[in-house]
Amino acid sequence: MEKSRANIIFSVILLILIINSVYAITASIGNARMILRAEVGDVIERSILVKNVNSVPVNITLTVTGDLEKEIKLAETSFILEAGKEKNAQFSVDVTKKGTFESKINVGFMPIGGKNGAGLSSTIIIIASGEGEMQDGENDGNTMGITGGAISLDSIKNIVGDNTKLLLFNLAVTIALLIALIIILKKIKKRRQNKSRNRGRK
């Protein structure tokens, strides 16, 4: 009886660890850094290549932070990407003032019905001229990928959400199970010692 209880507790702990590992999502994007040259009054249209390299569908969310948060318009702020698929997330930039500006488009990856997500950011640098001398468009073509986390504070704020609560809950459950297992093992040991003493007396 005691052994079966210990086996059940071990099985539950392993199940929790397996579930956590199964839902570890990998985030991958192309165009991780863009340098765009334009004139004031131009509208730049570009895209970020979003790749789902996971074996499950993921919900993609996009947010903008930085100098041009209001000037960058996303064609879509969220969409579902099937396993193994990729999609160009379109966006446009209204160049309204002269200067050099930097913004980020944060791309969040979340499993459907899950809470353990990941995220990456694409850095957009706009060099705007008012003289009509600079040419539009420069992209270094960098590709980024990361598993189970975000690489910027903005991504963490927009993506993590309830992940901390989930991790703390899983940790609390695991600790509780370990404590229960220790108590059961102590009881088993105590019973064995009592049996040994009883046999010695006989």
Per-run averaged pLDDT (10 residues), the chain, 202 residues: 54 48 76 93 95 93 96 96 95 95 96 84 93 46 47 44 52 75 83 74 60
Question: Domain check: are 53 and 133 in the same one?
Answer: yes
Which domain does 140 fall in, by range?
A: 25-161
CATH number for 130: 2.60.40.10
Q: Does residue 14 sit in the same domain as residue 32?
A: no
Same domain, 16 and 89: no
Same domain, 107 and 191: no
pLDDT of residue 25: 87
Q: Counting beta carbons within 10 angstroms of the beta carbon of residue 120, is it exposed (0 to 12), middle (13 to 18) or buried (19 or more)?
A: buried
Q: What share of the chain is helix, strand, coil (3-state, %, to 5)?
A: 35, 35, 30
Strands (E), the chain: 26-29, 33-39, 43-51, 58-66, 72-74, 78-81, 86-94, 99-111, 118-129, 144-147
Q: Residues 67, 149: one domain?
A: yes
Is there a single domain that holds both residue 62 and residue 92? yes
Please state the domain count of the chain: 2
Same domain (yes/no): 33, 128? yes
The pTM score is 0.57
The H or E element that residue 113 is part of is none
pLDDT given at position 160: 43
So what's the pLDDT on residue 147?
Answer: 43
Is 149 found in the same domain as 176? no
Asked if residue 183 and residue 145 are part of one domain, the reply reads no
